[in-house]
Every structure is written in C-alpha cells, then in structure tokens.
Chain A
Amino acid sequence: MGLRSAVIVFPGSNCDRDVAVALEQSTGQAPAMVWHKESDFPEVDLMVLPGGFSYGDYLRCGAMAVHSPVTREVKRRAEAGVPTLGICNGFQVLTEMGLLPGALLRNADLDFVCRDVHLRVENTQTLFTHRYASDQPIRIPVAHHDGNYYADETTLDALADNGQIAFRYVDEEGEVTSGANPNGSLKNIAGVFNASKTVLGLMPHPERLSDPQLGGNDGRPLFDGLVEALQ
C-alpha cells in the first residue's frame, strides 16, 4: 500500500488538481480530495493544503478557511503529528490556523509576482526536504500577491535557532540577496516548519515543476522524499 494522502479543497482553491497529479506521480495512488464541508475524512499519512484563493481571500488570505468544518479536523490531526504541507494559500491558511509561526503580508512592491525563483534548502534533515542538498539551489515557481513573510524578531531568532526555516530565496549561485527576494519577506524566508518539523508551509509551488515536461523537476524530490520517509 502506497502513501495515503489527502488534498483539502476550499472554494477558490485552484492548485488542488496540480498537487494531486504530483502526489499521484510520487505515491502511485490518487489522493483523497476532501471538500471543505467535510468534518471527517479517511485516515491518511499526509495532508496537503493547496494553493489558490480560498474564500476569495476575503478579510485576509486564509482567514476564512480556518473556520471551515474540515479545518478543525486538519488541525486536530496536524497537532497529533500527521504530516501537513501547505503550499502558497495553504501556507497562509496554516499561519492563520496557528500551526505555523508568522504571517504573510502583501508583497512589498504591491505586485503579483509570477515567475521562477531560486531557493536554498535551509534544513535538509526533515521528512519534506531530505532529498535535497543544502548547497544546491533549486528552481521553483512562485505565483502570489501576499507572500511577504513576517514574524517578530524573537520569533525569527527562534526559527533560525530551531532549524525551522525551510527555504530562503537566493540568487542562481545560492546567495541570499535582496535582489533574489521576490516579495520583501524578512530574512528572504520562503517556507517554514513547525517546531516538530511535521508541518511545512511554503509560498513557492513545488507541484508546478515536478515533471521535466513542465520545464523542470526540482519540486519532485519533496514529494518523493515524503513517500520515502513516511512509508
């Protein structure tokens, strides 16, 4: 039996099918697609909150999704240790749920940014990132208007000390520069873990470059790595 996964689908999610394709490619079986009104769903090894614009980004990105029936169950399971991945809007939802520290603000230059970026994997000793090398920048697309990571100084220091920074925006040579930062994120942070490294949120979209036919494959080790770690 392969890795069992679930993709949580909110009204306004639009990367749910993309991530389902990437998951099926790596796990060998289609994920359960779980609609936001479900208050329960089958037992799974991995939960994924996809990108998109849940509830039209009303009030704040991710704010309304927190109060969906399904989200209570996602939170319960994530707190019990079920690995959880949030991509783009999914990352915003995880911060609003309080499962990940910090918040995502409007991009510093106010533009919607949609292009490939380079990332450095800051912690390769996790379920999600063990297939990556820390000295090898990866290329993954971003597509967001509100990806400007913010946390207060104390939280930023704690994230660094605990290995909770997952990815940082870098240039092609792997250097953290302001020019490589697409949205103004503090410390160029593109993704963070919770304290136990079982929850990951990131703004870039690994599912969009998980097949060479799509122009790149740097997203795939994340999904393959999860399969290897969780089976």
Chain B
Amino acid sequence: MKAKVHVTLKPGVLDPQGKAVEGALAALGFAGVESVRQGKFLEIELAGDDRDAAERQVAEMCEKLLANTVIEKYDVEIGD
C-alpha cells in the first residue's frame, strides 16, 4: 500500500512562500489566480493490506513527526 500525505499550513497562518509564488504567477501573466498555499507531499510505502490500520498509523506519524499541528494540517490518502 501507499500512503499519500499532504501537509499544509492551516488557514489563517501566513504562508510567505505561497504568497511569493502567487505574485510570480501573476507576473507571468496567469490571470485569475486567487491564492496559492504551499505545502509538502510525502509518499510512504507501507507493508500489509489493512487500510484502516494504515490510516491510523499514518495519522500517528503526522501527529508525531510529519506535521507541526500548531501551524499545519494534514490529509492522508491510502492507495494501492
């Protein structure tokens, strides 16, 4: 199984890198970009086939290491 984890800053937490990307896209002439939030994407290969257990385990990984929940939120997707 593969877990896909997105870690992004919580809404309301300033994201200066996302803002800079947003500005650069506008400077390149891309119209209609309303906002950009930058984050991290992790792919984790997992042994076994219990998806519920994998989801719990990856959530625990996020709480303990992958995300700082003071400023970040995470989304976990378990795939094949």
Contact = CB atoms under 8 A, between A and B. Distances in A.
Contacts of B14: 105, 108, 148, 150, 184
A184 B15 CA distance: 11
**Lowest 5 A-B CB distances belong to which pairs?**
A103-B70, A103-B71, A108-B16, A110-B16, A106-B16
6 contacts: A63-B65, A95-B70, A105-B14, A106-B16, A110-B16, A150-B13
Contacts of A105: 9, 13-14, 16, 71
A46 B13 CA distance: 34
Contacts, number: 38
A149 to B, nearest CB: 11
B11 to A, nearest CB: 12
A63 B68 contact: yes
Interface of B: 9, 13-14, 16-17, 20, 40, 65-66, 68, 70-71
A101 B71 CA distance: 11
A150 B9 CA distance: 12
A203 to B, nearest CB: 16
| Chain A interface main SS type | loop
Contact of A59 (B13, B66, B71): B66
Contacts of A103: 68, 70-71
Contacts of B71: 103, 105, 150
Nearest to A111: B16
